[in-house]
């Protein structure tokens, strides 16, 4: 059987004009191995392994990369690795969370938001970011209403430094609020957690984009004997028509290929 890919299965990210693969590659494991919630330990890949994984992702039809300042050295490693390829990728990064010396800290002020985006542009060696998400600490409504972060992202979009912005939150109220002024929301949705479905449905009604985090429950999705948790997870997630793409972080080429093949089969099997 020939390897199934995601070529030809791109979908719009809401009304942003961005066309993205239904699977995005999360790159936390490119730059950070502390304080990550995976069931097994891992070694951060060297440059050759990382470059090979990015090349495989492109071959498999993935064009969406997810990174963040909170992902350790992910951004600064991706910059050199993506030289000469910028037009082939939709790059999403974040603002709000910093990670240093094994600890996270948060700053949603306008000054830090602008500084963070400018630093991401420098690290990623690009003139624009396709998407910037606010990396919430859980106080979703306070961030959206009081910090000035979202307003600053709107300014950066008008200036052409970013093409779209949104919110990676932890509450339904935050997700719904974020869609009012933003282009998309990133929500948790998997076999175990579906509380944020109202956000997905609201985005579909408003023509806004939805990215899914933890679609495979950070590697913890488990079903009974003989059942493929990846297939079941993707069938559940993409059963919601408002979903644009699911971000899955892996540094294992076999896992990546299996995820892509499974998702392609799930999507193309739908009527």
Catalytic residue among 71, 99, 167, 238: 71
Q: Which residue, among 251, 260, 216, 222, has the nearest Cα to 237 in the 3D structure?
A: 216
Residue 38 exposed, middle or buried by CB count within 10 Å (0-12, 13-18, 19+): middle
Query: Taking the chain, what is the end-to-end CA distance rounded to the nearest angstrom?
Result: 22
Q: Which residue, among 106, 100, 155, has the nearest Cα to 132 in the 3D structure?
A: 155
The two tokens of residue 196 are 């944020």
User: Which own/partner pairs from 146-151 qualify as long-range (CB within 8 Å, at least 24 positions apart)?
Assistant: 147/108, 147/109, 147/110, 148/108, 148/109, 148/110, 148/113, 149/95, 149/96, 149/108, 149/109, 149/110, 149/113, 150/178, 150/181, 150/182, 151/110
Q: Which residue, among 138, 217, 219, 125, has the nearest Cα to 173 in the 3D structure?
A: 138
Q: Is 71 a catalytic residue?
A: yes
Report the C-alpha gap between 55 and 115 in whole angstroms: 30
Catalytic residues: 71
């Amino acid at each position: 059987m020939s390897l199934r890919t995601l070529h030809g299965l791109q979908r719009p990210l809401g009304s942003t004009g961005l066309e993205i693969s239904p699977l995005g590659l999360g790159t936390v494991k490119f730059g950070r191995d502390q304080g990550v919630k995976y069931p097994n330990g891992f070694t951060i890949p060297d440059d050759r392994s990382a470059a090979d994984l990015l090349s495989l992702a492109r071959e498999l039809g993935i064009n969406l990369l997810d990174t963040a300042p909170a992902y350790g050295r992910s951004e600064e490693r991706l910059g050199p690795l993506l030289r000469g390829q910028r037009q082939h990728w939709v790059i999403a990064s974040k603002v709000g969370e910093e990670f240093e010396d094994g600890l996270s800290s948060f700053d949603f002020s306008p000054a830090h938001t602008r500084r963070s985006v400018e630093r991401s542009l420098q690290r990623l060696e690009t003139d624009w970011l396709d998407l910037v998400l606010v990396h919430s600490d859980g106080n979703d409504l306070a961030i959206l209403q009081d910090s000035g972060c979202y307003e600053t992202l709107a300014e950066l979009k008008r200036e052409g430094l970013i093409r779209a912005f949104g919110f990676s939150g932890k509450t339904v109220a935050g997700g719904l609020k974020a869609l009012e002024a933003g282009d998309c929301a990133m929500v948790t949705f998997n076999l175990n957690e579906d509380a944020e479905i109202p956000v997905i449905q609201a985005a579909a009604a408003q023509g806004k984009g939805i990215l899914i985090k933890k679609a495979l429950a950070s590697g913890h999705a488990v079903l009974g004997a003989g059942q493929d948790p990846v297939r079941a997870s993707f069938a559940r997630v993409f059963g919601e028509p408002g979903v644009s793409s699911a971000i899955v972080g892996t540094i294992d080429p076999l896992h990546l290929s299996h995820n892509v093949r499974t998702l392609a089969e799930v999507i193309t099997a739908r009527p």
